[in-house]
Amino acid sequence: MKVVALGTGVCANGYVPKADRQPPGFLVDVGGFLVLFDCSEGIRYRLTAAGYDYGRVGHIAVTHGHPDHAALPQFIQAKSCRRIWANDQPSFATCNIYLPRKLAEGFPAVWDWHQPENNGAYWPELTPTFVSMDDKSEQMLAPDIILHSFAVPHGFGKHPALCYRLETPEGVIAYSGDSGMCDALVEAGMDADLYLCEASFRIGFVDAKKYGHLTPREAGEVGKRSRAKRLRLTHYLDLDTPEAMLHDLRESGYHGDADVARDGDVYEI
């Protein structure tokens, strides 16, 4: 199994020109079974650059609806047209999108904004299946691949948001999405082989208004409490140096394998 870091950046680029990173996305490849965590703007170009055909990405787990995490209409449209050009290969027709229940319920309005001529439908080539996920939901993606979701606080607690835990025969991956500190992050990552954890807040930031992100140190606390074997910080601004971020992370007492994630990283498990 391997995990490909397609996007470790944030919503805006250009903060640090020499370290330009793309918005969130990670591909989990379990012996050719593909699961995409977050579907950001332009993710399919990055899948192609990493050597993957986006037409074959059949399982997409979206943490929440912020635009930097969920550019779904474009991905769905591209997958549909991709299937036509793939000579109608059945495997290209799978498009299961896992997302917070409220966002699944609200998506028809988003689709209608883009495709009013479809009268609420998609296309014969591809009709996505929206799978509503709640706190402590689990879905069997394949007989031995299970996706667990946990509700997390984000957007002042007003935004339906999830973190995910993916259990496979070859290892466990946890992905925080965007979240403030909470027990759900620990539960999702318990004894994980790899924890992809956000660190959007700068070192020392105190989230007095409870918007819901983590500092590197808080991400380290999540890694420590969950006993994750490997911890990679993602969705960070790059305004603090990697060395300073890792120093702050270690202040948490996390002693496992830790680093900042970079676009193009590949983690073998």
Residues that bind Zn ion (CB under 5 A): 66, 178
Give the pairing of strands 145-151 and 137-142: antiparallel
Q: Which of 106, 124 has the CB closer to Zn ion? A: 106
To Zn ion, the closest distance from the beta carbon of 8 in angstroms equals 11
Q: Which of 13, 48 has the CB closer to Zn ion? A: 13
Distance between CA 238 and CA 256 in Å, rounded? 22
To Zn ion, the closest distance from the beta carbon of 74 in angstroms equals 18
Q: Which of 63, 137 has the CB closer to Zn ion? A: 63
To Zn ion, the closest distance from the beta carbon of 175 in angstroms equals 12
Q: Do residues 148 and 164 touch, judged by C-beta distance below 8 A?
A: yes
Q: Which of 43, 96, 38, 35 is nearest to 69 (CA)?
A: 38
Q: Which of 159, 225 has the CB closer to Zn ion? A: 159
CA 189 to chain CA mean position, Å: 14
Q: Which of 79, 159 has the CB closer to Zn ion? A: 159
Distance between CA 265 and CA 103 in Å, rounded? 30
Taken in order 128, 31, 219, 198, is the CA torsion positive or negative? negative
To Zn ion, the closest distance from the beta carbon of 235 in angstroms equals 6
To Zn ion, the closest distance from the beta carbon of 171 in angstroms equals 25
Q: Which helix (H) or strand (E) holds 231?
A: strand 230-234
> What residues contact 45, with CB distance under 8 A and at least 6 apart?
none
